[in-house]
Amino acid sequence: MIRGIFNFIVMVGFTLTLPFFCAAAWFWGSADERWLMKVCFCVLGPFCLDFWYLIFRHIVLRKDSSYLMQFMIFVLGYAGIFLMLKSRLVAF
């Protein structure tokens, strides 16, 4: 049980710090690190966006957020990544 909680905390921590890792790898990393951060951005980007929305909404604004809004952020996040991949803004 403790291992599961630790894994959850590490996953959430990595997802929240993903934008900083991506920026660091894209500016100062090797080719392999850039590729890895592009993959992580494409897979975990909408989760990160949703977590940041929840943090802003609950802690800063002190309001509840609806599941529909979270779902729309999640879906539109993947739609945005799809469009970035299609327009070659993020290329592998």
What is d(CA 92, CA 24) in angstroms, rounded to the nearest whole number? 17
Q: Tens digit of pLDDT for each residue in 33-77? A: 888 888 888 888 898 888 889 888 888 888 888 899 999 999 999
What is d(CA 3, CA 17) in angstroms, rounded to the nearest whole number? 21
Position 79 scores a pLDDT of 95
Position 2 scores a pLDDT of 84
Record the pTM: 0.70
Position 54 scores a pLDDT of 87
Domain ranges of the chain: 2-86
Task: With a cut of 80, say whether residue 88 has pLDDT above it.
Answer: yes
What is d(CA 80, CA 73) in angstroms, rounded to the nearest whole number? 10
Residue 30 and residue 12 in contact, taking contact as beta carbons nearer than 8 Å: no
Position 29 scores a pLDDT of 85
